[in-house]
Amino acid sequence: MIFEIVLAIGALQLVRRLKKPSHMSWQGLRPSRSRAEVLGAQGEARAHAKLKETLDWLCGSNYCLLGGPLVIEHAPGTAFPTAEIDHLAVTPFGIFVFETKNWSGRIAPSTARGMLTRVGSDHRSEDRRSPIDQNRTKVAFFRSNLPCVWPVMGAGLFTSPEARLDAALHSDLLSLTDVPQWLRSRRDAYAGMPAVDVRKATAAVTQLVRTTEADLREHKRIVSA
């Protein structure tokens, strides 16, 4: 009888614990993420897969594709000293910094400098900062810290299949389907120049970036303060 009472009490406590609200995902491994964070992560994964597929096609194994977390300290001593990089590729024909956006709807030029206009399915328009503008200081950072014989270029990638890019946009603003032709054209434009030593360039780039989750958390803490 005593054993049955103890067993019943244990079962009751277990039920109470299971009924408590949890901020963990069902795997119990990480905090549950917002819908925007989940969609953003899916977009990053699509971008990485497309870049890898394209670079395999163009370069074989002679390239390096870096994904997050990638943080640079581009403005030490300022209120916002760090910046996050979404994807960075080192190839024989240059170093490429990619800023990704998981925007849906129609994306068009804006009358405001450094901005783009997004028109959603509800026909409401809003201006958002252009990924080219966001990338500007990041590209400048690598250009100023790497040998000038290694060209550094940037592009904005729109990862949502529901994004419709206006023809008037800058040619460095791309959908994922644009990536192969864009990189192929960069390769062709570099033809006749000395190839970038991918191994040396990768070593130099990795000296300039921070790659830990702690670095990324600290960056996000600063920009969200």
Question: Cis peptide before 69, with omega less than 30 degrees from 0?
Answer: yes
The residue ranges of every structural domain in the chain are 34-224
Q: Are 103 and 160 in contact (CB under 8 A)?
A: yes
Confidence label for 14 from pLDDT (cuts 50, 70 and 90): very low
40 CB-contact burial (10 Å; exposed 0-12 / middle 13-18 / buried 19+) = middle
Question: What pTM does this model have?
Answer: 0.83
Determine the pLDDT at residue 3. 39
Q: Among 38-42, 43-47, 204-208, which is the least confidently predicted range?
A: 38-42
> What pLDDT is recorded for position 41?
86
CB 138 within 8 A of CB 154: yes
Q: Note the pLDDT of residue 28.
A: 39
- Answer yes or no: are the C-beta atoms of 107 and 118 closer than 8 Å: yes
Position 2 scores a pLDDT of 47
pLDDT band at 31 (very low <50, low <70, confident <90, very high): low
pLDDT digits (tens, 9 = 90+) for 68-103: 889 999 999 999 999 999 999 999 999 999 999 999
| Long-range CB pairs of 216-221, under 8 A, 24+ apart, other chains included | 216/68, 216/69, 216/71, 216/84, 218/82, 219/71, 219/82, 219/83, 219/84, 220/84
* Residue 81 CB neighbours (<10 A): 13
pLDDT of residue 38: 83
List C-alpha distances in Å: 17 to 31, 147, 174. Answer: 18, 59, 49
Q: Name the packing angle between helices 35-59 and 179-189 (round to 10°).
A: 40
Contact between 114 and 129 under an 8 Å Cβ cutoff? The reply is yes
How do strand 152-158 and strand 173-175 relate by DSSP bridges? parallel
Q: What is the dihedral of CA 197, 201, 202, 203, to 10 degrees?
A: 110
Which residue type, as a one-letter code, is found at position 111?
A: T
Quote the percentage of the chain above a pLDDT of 90.
Answer: 79
Reply yes or no on whether the pLDDT at 177 is more than 50: yes
